[in-house]
Amino acid sequence: MFEFVSVSLDHPTACGMHPVTANVGKVASIDAGWYDRVVLLSLLCSGDLSVVRRLLARIWRKISVRVLHVITGLDRGGAERQLINLVGIRTDDEAAVFSILRIGDMENDIRATGVRLYSGHAGRLFSWRWVRRLMNTVHDFRPDLVMGWMYHGNLAALLTRSLNYKGPVCWNVRHSVHDLTLEKSTTRWVIRAGACLSKRPSKIVYNSVAAAFQHETLGYSNKGRVVMPNGFDLERFKPDSTVRDRSRHAFGVTQDELLIGVVGRAHPMKNHLGWVGAFKKLVQRGLPVRCLMIGKGLDARESPLEGAIQIAGLDEQFIRLPATSNPERIYPGLDLLVMPSLWGEGFPNVVGEAMACGVPAVVTPVGDAADVVGDAGFVCASTSAEDIADAVEAVVRLGHHELSLVGRKARQRMEDNYGIGAVADRYDALFREVLDGQ
C-alpha cells in the first residue's frame, strides 16, 4: 500500500544498506516487511541477491546520498568555505565532515549547517592517532561515498578503503601548482604521493582548469577529471549601500578616497610584500588610495609585512585586520579588490565574494582568476609590482562612477555563472553518477 509520507528504512544491512530515516515528502512508504518480501521474491526467482542489492541501492540513492567529506582542517580558508557552502545548501542529502586536524576557526560555521562533524584531533598531520578516529567515523556514519578535500584529505579519504569502507572515493583538489619547488617539502611529498595514487579515486574534482592541467603534468591521472567552479551564496554576498557607508565611516575613508582591498592569509604566494611595492607606486603617482588588508597573520606586529609598510612610509594608507568570519560586512565598502598572488590560486574565493558584492577585481594571471573575472574585471600583464601598479592605476583613474558600473557587471556575472545552488546541483549529479556506476 502506498502513502504520501516520509520514508523510513530501518533494517539489518543484508545488502550493505544502513538504518536511516529521510524526510523526502511525497513518496511511497517503505518498511521492513516490504524489504523482506522483495528479498524473498528474488530468492524464489533467481536465488541471487546481487541483482536485488543493486536495485535497492539504486532506489535508495534516488532518495538520499550519504557523503563523508574528509578535509585536512577547518581553519579559515577558501577550500573550507566552499565545503561549508556545499553542505549547508544540501538539505535532501546527508553529509558529515571529518577534520584530520583539530577543528579550527570555522567550527561554528560548519556546525551551523547542521551536518555531523567529526575530528581526528590531530595536532599535526604526521600522527596516526587520527586514523582510528577516521575508522570509527566510517563505522558510525556509514557513507555511500567519501570525498577528500585538499592533498592530505584526499590521501585520508583513500585510506578509508582500508578501514572497512567498500564504496567509491572522490578527490577534490583545491590548489594550483605553478612551480613545485615553491611549495613546502611536506606539500611536495603529498603532491607526489597523490600522483602515484591518482588512478584509484573514481573522480578527481578540480576547481580550475589550470589546476587540472598542472597536476596532470605532475603525473596525476586524467581518468575521471572533473572541473567544478566554486559557488557563492549570493544572498549573503551582495551589494549593500548601508553596509558600504558604515564600513567606510568605521575605517575613516573619505568620499574622495578609493579603498582597495587585499584579502588572504599571510603566505609568500599571496605576494603581500610585492603588493606594498606596487601600492607605493600608486601613492607616488598621486592617486587618492588607501588599502585594507584582511587575513590571518596580516595584523601581526613586527612582521615582514609591517616592516615593508613602515620602510615604504605608508602607515597612514594601510589598514590591517585579522581574518574575519563576516567578510560580507566589509566587501561592500571597497571600491576595488586586488589579488596580487604569485602562485597557488585555483579559483580564488575572495575574488568571487567581492564580485558578488558588486566590487570589481584586478587579478594577476594566476590559476583561473582571469576566467573568473572575465569581461567584468581586470587582469595584470604579470605578477611584477610594476605591472600590478600599472593595472590598478588604469582602473583607479576610471573614477567612482565607472567603477560602480563595472561592479554591477561583476555582480551579474556571479549571478549568471557561480551561484552556490547551481554548483551544489552539479556536485549532487556527480555523486549519483559515481554511485550508479558501482
Segment 49-93, tens digit of pLDDT: 555 555 455 544 455 799 999 999 998 888 999 999 999 886 555
Task: Report the percentage of the chain scoring pLDDT > 70.
Answer: 84
What is the pLDDT at residue 20?
A: 35
State mean pLDDT over 315-336.
96
pLDDT per residue as tens digits for the range 181-212: 888 898 999 999 999 999 999 999 999 999 99
Residue 415 banded pLDDT, cuts 50, 70, 90: very high
Q: Which residues of 18-48 are buried (b: 16+ CB within 10 A; e: fewer)?
A: eeeebeeeebeebeeeebeeebeebeeeeee
State mean pLDDT over 345-353.
94
Beta strand 5-9 with 20-27 is antiparallel
Evaluate if residue 160 carries a pLDDT over 70.
yes
Kindly tell me the sign of the dihedral angle through the C-alpha atoms of 408, 409, 410, 415: positive
Residue 11 banded pLDDT, cuts 50, 70, 90: very low
pTM higher than 0.75 = yes
- Are 66-231+420-436 and 241-417 the same fold in CATH? yes
- Range in 96-105, 147-156, 290-299 the model is least confident about: 96-105
The ranges assigned to domains in the chain are: 5-63, 66-231+420-436, 241-417
What is the pLDDT at residue 220?
A: 98
Pick the CATH number of 241-417 from 3.40.50.300, 3.40.50.11540, 3.40.50.2000, 3.10.310.30: 3.40.50.2000
Q: Are 74 and 107 in contact (CB under 8 A)?
A: yes
Q: Are 350 and 333 in contact (CB under 8 A)?
A: no
What is the pLDDT at residue 21?
A: 33
Cell of 51: 541483482
Order of strands, edge to edge, in the sheet holding 116-122? 116-122, 94-101, 66-71, 145-149, 169-173, 203-206, 225-227
Q: What is the mean pLDDT of the chain?
A: 87
**Which CATH homologous superfamily contains domain 66-231+420-436?**
Glycogen Phosphorylase B; (3.40.50.2000)
